[in-house]
């Protein structure tokens, strides 16, 4: 606890004296607000700005039109808890203690919310906080309000976080009865938070739980899509309901954006939207993502390290900084969000945090090109043993049977053609880098 307090104090001093070491003055512009919106199991091909034709996502698309759309944005993990832990800590799975879905974020890890709170930000999480089992020596799991969030309303237990119409949710540290669609409720809290904290600065984290199963949506939303798709049982239109989950999610995003605009906060608010990983074809999804080919044009799904599991929809809006209607084909990864958000807020992260992510703000604002680097993944849980490494356009995938494959994910996004025979040196280098990366794993 003393170490965490020292880090928070150091970060506060860094913010007070600014990114260039000069003391802040009253003449400086208002500090940047931050909104991070995270979908759950949303596939690359589920949003219309990535090519979806059967329904539209105009509000998510508007973020892309007003800012930057990423064509190669990667999650850091292919199941919920590790992906969210990577986002919150800026560290890869092997460094933050969360490699499995049943692992809990160590209390010693410093989250993005903690850093921003220590620097004067109001912080809130409305949605899904995925905890695992209590860690050895700890009596209970780590609550989000113990890791930097002033306000919390939503799920903590992964076993209930797939409920679209929950009967109870956490309000702070107290469980309360609720009614209605979960994401509508999260949005209600988000809009109220924005109104109350409009004078800023604030950090709003909105991890929605759609379109994660259960496959359910409000009847009025389902009615908009009923009859458009083939259904195994027309009385239970699963494919129409999946579409409804996404269009309702888009409307929730629209409500948040409208409130930001109505409050006059658009220019000073960075808004980022992405998904925790690719869509799933597992039994709970009831075949909906499979029917809609949600990860198209990529191979794979959630719980795999092919592009369908790791490449996710993403866009960022920050008017006056991120060029409107811009598209980036550079590879970025979920852990980049932590240091990049801090940079946008004028905060230098303390080296003691040992972040894996890279501050790419100057890339997003168009000042420099993205750095050349190697990105890594591992998934060793629930019977899987997969590894991957990506450098530029060439990606090494080591499957669960130990076989290495190499793909040019730009020319062959479906990863159908193994080019390892054409680039044996690259494959060997990536295997060597991957081995060295795994050797840095922090054992909990």
Q: Write out pLDDT tens, residues 94-133.
A: 999 999 999 999 999 999 999 999 999 999 999 999 887 7
Q: How confident is the model at residue 6 (pLDDT cuts 50, 70, 90)?
A: very low
Are 282 and 423 within one domain? no
Is the N-terminal amide bond of 211 cis, ω within 30° of 0? yes
Residue 277 lies in a domain: yes
Listed residues 341, 372, 403: the one ending a domain: 372
Could you tell me if 198 and 123 lie in one domain?
A: yes
Distance CA 115, CA 39 (A): 23
Domain's final residue, options 372, 404, 430? 372
Is 379 within a domain? no
**How much is the average pLDDT of 275-298?**
97
Query: Over pLDDT 70: what percentage of the chain?
Result: 93
Cβ neighbours of 126 (radius 10 Å): 27
- What pTM does this model have? 0.93
Pairing of strands 122-131, 202-207: parallel
d(Cα 12, Cα 360) in Å, to the nearest integer?
22
Q: Does residue 393 have a cis bond before it (omega within 30 degrees)?
A: no
Could you count the other beta carbons within 10 Å of the beta carbon of residue 48?
19
Q: 318-323: which pairs have CB atoms within 8 A and are 24 or more residues apart?
A: 318/32, 318/67, 318/269, 318/270, 318/271, 318/344, 318/364, 319/66, 319/67, 319/266, 319/267, 320/267, 321/270, 321/364, 321/365, 322/67, 322/68, 322/364, 322/365, 322/366, 323/67, 323/68, 323/365, 323/366
Written as six digits, the tokens of 23 are 């003391």
- N-term to C-term CA, the chain: 17
User: Does one domain contain both 318 and 404?
Assistant: no
If asked whether residues 397 and 357 sit together in one domain, one would say no
Q: What is the pLDDT of residue 135?
A: 73
Is 415 among the domain residues?
Answer: yes
- Decide if 274 contacts 313 (C-beta within 8 A): yes
pLDDT at residue 28, rounded to an integer: 55
The enclosing H or E element of 35 equals strand 33-39
Cα–Cα dist 268/31, whole Å: 7
Please check whether residue 444 lies inside any domain of the structure: no
Residue 281 lies in a domain: yes
In sequence order, which residues have a C-beta less than 8 Å from that of residue 100 and are 6 or more positions away? 79, 81, 82, 132, 380, 381, 382
59 and 139 both lie in a single domain: yes
pLDDT of residue 7: 45
Q: How far is 124 from 145, CA to CA, in rounded Å?
A: 9
Examine the domain organization and report whether 7 and 115 are in the same domain. yes
Task: Using the CB atoms, write b or e for 267-284: b if 16+ within 10 Å.
Answer: ebbbbbbbbbbbbbbeee
Same structural domain for residues 172 and 250?
A: yes
Looking at the structure, tell me whether residues 358 and 322 fall in a common domain: yes
Question: Residue 243, CB half-sphere, CA atoms under 13 Å: how many?
Answer: 24
| Nearest-angstrom CA–CA distance, 123 and 392 | 35
Number of domains in the chain: 2
Residue 185 domain boundaries:
2-372
Interatomic CA distance for residues 111 and 353, integer angstroms: 10
Structure token pair of residue 68:
């930057």
Q: Is the pLDDT assigned to residue 379 strictly greater than 50?
A: yes
DSSP string, 143-195: PGGGTT-SEEEEEEETTTTT-SS-SEEEETTEEEE--S-HHHHHHHHHHHHHH
CA angle 103, 105, 108 (to 5 degrees): 140
- Residues 363, 397 share a domain: no
Question: Under a CB-based contact definition with an 8 Å cutoff, are residues 219 and 50 in contact?
Answer: no
Which of 326, 344, 372 finishes a domain? 372
Same domain, 245 and 354: yes
Looking at the fold, whether 367 and 394 belong to one and the same domain comes out as no
Position 381 in a domain: no
Q: What digits encode the pLDDT tens for the residues 159-218?
A: 788 899 999 999 999 999 999 999 999 999 999 999 999 999 999 999 999 999 999 999
What CATH number is attached to the domain comprising 273?
3.40.720.10
Percentage of residues in the chain having pLDDT higher than 90: 86
As given in the structure block, the two tokens for residue 184 are 């509508």
Is the same domain home to 325 and 395? no
Does any domain span residue 380?
Answer: no
């Amino acid at each position: 606890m003393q170490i965490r307090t020292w880090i928070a104090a150091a970060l506060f001093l860094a913010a007070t004296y600014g990114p260039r070491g000069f003391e802040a003055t009253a003449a400086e512009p208002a500090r940047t607000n931050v909104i991070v919106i995270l979908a759950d199991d949303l596939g690359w091909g589920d949003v219309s700005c990535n090519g979806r034709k059967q329904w539209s996502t105009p509000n998510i698309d508007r973020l892309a039109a007003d800012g930057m759309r990423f064509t190669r944005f990667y999650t850091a993990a292919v199941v919920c808890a590790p992906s969210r832990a990577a986002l919150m800590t800026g560290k890869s799975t092997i460094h933050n203690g969360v490699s499995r879905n049943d692992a809990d974020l160590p209390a010693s890890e410093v989250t993005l919310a903690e850093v921003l709170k220590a620097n004067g930000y109001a912080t809130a999480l409305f949605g899904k906080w995925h905890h695992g089992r209590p860690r050895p020596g700890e009596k209970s799991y780590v609550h989000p309000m113990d890791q930097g969030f002033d306000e919390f309303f939503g799920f903590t237990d992964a076993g209930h976080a797939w409920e679209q119409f929950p009967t109870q949710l956490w309000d702070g540290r107290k469980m309360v009865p609720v009614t209605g669609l979960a994401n509508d409720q999260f949005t209600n809290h988000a809009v109220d938070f924005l109104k109350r904290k409009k004078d800023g600065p604030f950090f709003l984290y909105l991890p929605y739980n759609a379109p994660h199963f259960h496959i359910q949506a409000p009847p009025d939303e389902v009615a908009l899509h009923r009859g458009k798709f083939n259904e195994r049982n027309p009385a239970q239109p699963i494919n129409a309901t999946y579409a409804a989950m996404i269009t309702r999610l888009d409307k929730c995003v629209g409500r948040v954006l409208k409130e930001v605009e109505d409050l006059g906060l658009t220019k000073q608010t960075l808004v980022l939207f992405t998904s925790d990983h690719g869509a799933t074809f597992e039994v709970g999804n009831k075949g909906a993502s499979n029917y809609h080919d949600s990860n198209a044009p990529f191979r794979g799904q959630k719980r795999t390290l092919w592009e369908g599991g790791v490449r996710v929809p993403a866009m960022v809006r920050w008017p006056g900084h991120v060029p409107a209607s811009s598209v980036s084909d550079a590879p970025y990864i979920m852990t980049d969000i932590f240091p990049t958000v801090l940079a946008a807020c004028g905060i230098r992260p303390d080296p003691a945090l040992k972040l894996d992510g890279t501050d790419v703000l100057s890339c997003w604002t168009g000042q420099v090109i993205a750095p050349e680097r190697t990105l890594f993944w591992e998934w060793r849980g629930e019977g899987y043993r997969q590894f991957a490494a990506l450098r530029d356009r060439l990606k090494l995938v080591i499957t669960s049977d130990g076989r290495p494959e190499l793909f040019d994910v730009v020319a062959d996004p479906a990863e159908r053609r193994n080019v390892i025979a054409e680039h044996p040196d690259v494959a060997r280098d990536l295997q060597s880098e991957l081995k060295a990366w795994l050797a840095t794993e922090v054992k909990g």
